[in-house]
Amino acid sequence: MAGRWRRLLEEESEHQWLSIGVFFAFILMGAFAIGATEHFVGAQVMDTDANYEGGLVTEIAYHPGSQTYTALVYSPEAGYSLFTEDMSEDTTMGIFSQDTNDQGANVQFLKTMPDGEVIFSTSQNQVIGLQGDLMVTYDYTTINGVFGVLDVAERTIGDTTQRLLLTKEGAETSVRGVVGMTPTPAMSTSLGVQWQHIEAYNQTHWIGIGTHFSTAGADGSSPATPQSRPVLGWIEWNGAEGTPVIDKVQTFDGGIFHSIAKNSNTIVVGGTVHSLLIHTPERVETLDIACARVVADTSGKVWFIGQLGSSTLSTYLDGEVNIYVLGRSMPVEQSAVGASGDYVHVHGVDANGNPIQWSIDVTANGSIESGRGFLNLLYLMVGSVLLAMMLRHAIAELKRPA
């Protein structure tokens, strides 16, 4: 047997050396080709025939399980307009416009609740909800004071839905629960934090993100420019008439926290310097990922949307962070983001200040239809065929009488 192996290696068959040469050439060509497709695919600037075409989308909420969205859009000619469009039915329901009820500039936020209701606010002690073609106005009593509404969070426990309001209290921000149509008194202290967003966490706690401004000069900073730090707050409120209270505040260094993305397992907080993975109040993981917004797609994967000019795109799902290199740098300075179907849509302006939409097909990267996926498959198939041919030739030589 040893003699047969030696003869096989010493054989100068043109077919043997040709197959070996082709195989190594294929390895080199495949390596270069796959390396050339290592950039993320499935993201591009979109041409759209939606009603916001040509305008700047400043807020948008996509309705779950449909091709419907509600958007607040600004254009110099028409001012602010708020409307709901069903792309599948090609129907539009106008809510605010310059020609009818010119309240669009007063819209504080747009947010989709867990039950699919889209919530916004334009007036003190009032929240408006959109559920399909139905618009419901929640007018809260002024028994415990007058306030603006900056954000809303909800959770369902059994058959009961509990609602927490992030409120504007003069020059400060605070939090109030809602019992029936009566808001609780404002949280007794905000600890010097300007709160920006709130979200439900579990059956006893809610989370808030904001910015803490130190007393001018107290931390060694210039009295003219006191240092600010991003804050994660844990708020306790059980849905009863009692006032929400801050249970815990965690302060971090650098930047601001700007958005919250929630899936079935994890809450992700996006920040301009660092982002956070929230596991428990005792376990908050800091990610070295800077972004302009975080958003969860319909499958639960969280996307970290970068600033205009960013060269990478990051995702998080089931404990795994992936960082992708973009074929072209981020072309949009985002003003609003959302997820619908197989897409994450990023709205904003390009480098010239023109409104654009940049969309990510969340199913494309790594698929067989993508360049990298196709080349990986082709590489495996052709490589397997060449190896099989070489193995067949070797077996035939070993079986040939000496």
Answer whether residue 36 shows pLDDT above 50: no
204-219: pLDDT as tens digits: 899 999 999 876 555 5
**Higher model confidence: residue 12 or residue 172?**
172
Q: How confident is the model over 52-102, as pLDDT tens digits?
A: 999 999 999 999 989 999 999 999 999 999 999 999 898 999 999 988 889
pLDDT range class, residue 387, cuts 50, 70, 90: low
Q: What is the pLDDT of residues 135-184, one digit of tens each?
A: 999 999 999 999 999 999 999 998 899 999 999 999 999 999 999 899 99
pLDDT of residue 380: 61
Cβ 222 vs Cβ 203: under 8 Å: no
Between 230 and 388, the higher pLDDT residue: 230
pLDDT of residue 327: 82
Higher pLDDT, 363 or 347: 347
State residue 9's pLDDT score: 47
Q: Output the pLDDT for position 401.
A: 63
What's the mean pLDDT in 26-53? 69
Rg (CA), the chain: 28
Q: Residue 369: what pLDDT? A: 42
In this predicted structure, the answer to whether residue 373 has a pLDDT above a threshold of 70 is no
pLDDT for 222-250, tens place per residue? 555 667 899 999 999 999 888 999 999 99
pLDDT of residue 144: 95
In this prediction, residue 222 carries a pLDDT of 56
Helix H, strand E, coil C: the string for the chain is CHHHHHHHHHCCCHHHHHHHHHHHHHHHHHHHHHHHCCCECCEEECCCCCCCCCCEEEEEEECCCCCEEEEEEEECCCEEEEEEEECCCCEEEEEECCCCCCCHHHCCCCEECCCCCEEECCCCCEEEEEECCEEEEEECCCCCCCCEEEEEEEEEECCEEEEEEEEEECCEEEEEEEECCEECCCCCCCCCEEEEEEEECCCCEEEEEEEEECCCCCCCCCCCCCCEEEEEEEEECCCCCCCCEEEEEEECCCCCEEEEEECCCCEEEEECCCEEEEEECCEEEEECCCCCEEEECCCCCEEEECCCCCCEEEEEECCEEEEEEECCCCCCEEEEEEEECCEEEEEEECCCCCEEEEEEECCCCCCCCCHHHHHHHHHHHHHHHHHHHHHHHHHHHHHCCC
Q: pLDDT class for 37, splitting at 50, 70, 90?
A: very low
**What global pTM score does this model have?**
0.81
Give the model's pLDDT for residue 23: 54
Residues 329-343 have pLDDT tens digits of 999 999 999 999 999
61: Cα separation from own chain's centroid: 13
Question: Which carries the bigger pLDDT value, residue 189 or residue 346?
Answer: 346
Taking a C-beta distance cutoff of 8 angstroms, is the pair 315, 301 a contact?
Answer: yes
Tens of pLDDT, residues 23-33: 556 555 554 44
How confident is the model over 239-297, as pLDDT tens digits?
A: 988 899 999 999 999 899 999 998 877 899 999 999 999 988 889 999 999 999 999 99
